[in-house]
Amino acid sequence: MVKLFELAARMDKVGVAVTRVGLIVVLLWIGGLKAFPYEADGIVPFVANSPFMSFFYADGDNYKAHMNPEGVLNTENRAWHEANHTYEFAYGLGAVIVLYGLLLCLHPWLPQAATMGSFLVFVMSFVTLTFLITTPESWVPNLGDAQHGFPYLSGRGRLVIKDAIMMGAALVTMADSAKVYLNRRASSS
């Protein structure tokens, strides 16, 4: 049994590497998906209700009437989203998220860039977690069932709460990249 614990104790470097790769995959994939209308439509309630981001939309107050379920093409709603700047915002956000993922990819060569990328992912995750406070759609609505409101997370809320893991993973990769940078700097002096 002790051998298993000794093996587990040596897995810290593998764990950090898997954590970094996981962050990179998620950031590149989700950031890349922001270029597609269904993904851009899906983040509208978060952006429209955010005191940090709502100003990016032309008419964020009226988003509920123009939501497209995933896989549904409604050309009138699509036109509203275009006028609302939904897609332009999503393109910009997606580019930023992809950039963060690319910064993490630089860890072997430029750990200082990966450190900054991880810090930015931490901040992004913190902002995303504020959606639990600002977005009514994060909670199960009162449609007759007794289980609604806090603490009953909706699909959107369950999506958001996962950023608590992203935040912790970003701290782990930030610390690791910073250590590599500092060790390289010390050994070159």
Cα distance between residue 138 and residue 153, in whole Å? 6
Residue 188 class from Cβ within 10 Å (0-12 exposed, 13-18 middle, 19+ buried)? exposed
Question: What's the pLDDT band for 103 if we cut at 50, 70, 90?
Answer: very high
Does residue 189 have a pLDDT over 90? no
- Read off the pLDDT of residues 153-165 as tens digits, 9 standing for 90 and up: 999 999 999 999 9
pLDDT for the residue numbered 134? 97
Q: Residues 167, 122: contact at Cβ < 8 Å?
A: yes
Residue 109: other Cβ atoms inside 10 A: 8
Paired strand residues for 102:
none
The pLDDT tens digits for 2-50 are 999 999 999 999 999 999 999 999 999 999 999 999 999 999 999 999 9
Q: CB–CB of 160/138 below 8 Å?
A: yes
What pLDDT, in 10s, does the model give residues 106-152? Answer: 999 999 999 999 999 999 999 999 999 999 999 999 999 999 999 99
For residue 27, the model assigns a pLDDT of 98
pLDDT of residue 145: 94
Question: Stretch 47-65: mean pLDDT, rounded?
Answer: 96
What's residue 168's pLDDT? 98
